[in-house]
Amino acid sequence: MLILGLTGSIAMGKSTTALAFRGFGLPLFDADLAVHDLMGPGGRAVAAVLDAFPETGDACTGIDRKKLGARVLGNPPALTRLEAILHPAVREAERRFLQRASRNGDRIVVLDVPLLFETRGERRCDATVVVSAPPALQRARALARPGMTPERLDAILRRQIPDALKRRRADFVVRSGAGRAQALADVTAVLKALSRRTPRRWPEGWLTHSQRRTARGGVGDDGGTPEREDE
């Protein structure tokens, strides 16, 4: 099973590109949707987030993402604390998704992760694709969103690796600023190229440290140091 990491900065057209991959029948994991589920009513991360940021919601209704965003945006220590809660939980959701896809015999799957490079998630993918558009178009798209301001957009962009660097690091680029036909052609070209690649990351790249030791004949240590998200 080959794992394709899909990423792109805010307002680059990643969601539309994700729909294109789904249109070709590829199973797709949406990290943003996973975070929404984790922090919604009954979500697995609600208790931990409320413990860290009690003013952002309650156990019945879940986390108010607007309040949480206002609490952590521009506050690096608070953001780091939130990421320490959410990133491992999203990673586990990704793992469950991949396990299901593997059992189903899927040949290619897509992980739609906005902060793929920022969290070093590309090391667990066989290939990566970044969705890109000209900066002026990106900014116009972003500022057209409800509640978005220039200051908020700038704060979000400071958290993200610059688009030019993402394009250099990615295996493929989908150009969303050149029209839907060009973006679809780029997606088609990605799938054609992937058909010639050999999967290498699943499952070895997704094992915890103790699982790798056990698989190689060592002794597992379930009571040891928790696995780092960036491993």
User: Over the stretch 26-61, which tens digit does the pLDDT of each residue have?
Assistant: 999 999 999 999 999 999 999 999 999 999 999 999
Element containing residue 7 per DSSP (H, E) = strand 2-7
d(CA 200, CA 17): 24
DSSP 8-state assignment for residue 216: T
d(CA 118, CA 206): 18
Question: Two tokens at 213?
Answer: 């030791």
Q: What is the second-level CATH architecture of the domain 1-27+108-200?
A: 3-Layer(aba) Sandwich (3.40)
d(CA 112, CA 146): 23
> Do 18 and 112 meet the contact criterion of CB atoms below 8 Å apart?
yes
Ranges of the chain with pLDDT below 50: 219-231
> Do 194 and 4 meet the contact criterion of CB atoms below 8 Å apart?
yes
DSSP 8-state assignment for residue 220: -
Whole-model pTM: value is 0.87
| Confidence at residue 225, expressed as pLDDT on a 0 to 100 scale | 30
| Confidence at residue 213, expressed as pLDDT on a 0 to 100 scale | 65
| Confidence at residue 74, expressed as pLDDT on a 0 to 100 scale | 85
Angle between helices 14-23 and 180-194 (to 10 degrees): 60
> Do 90 and 43 meet the contact criterion of CB atoms below 8 Å apart?
no
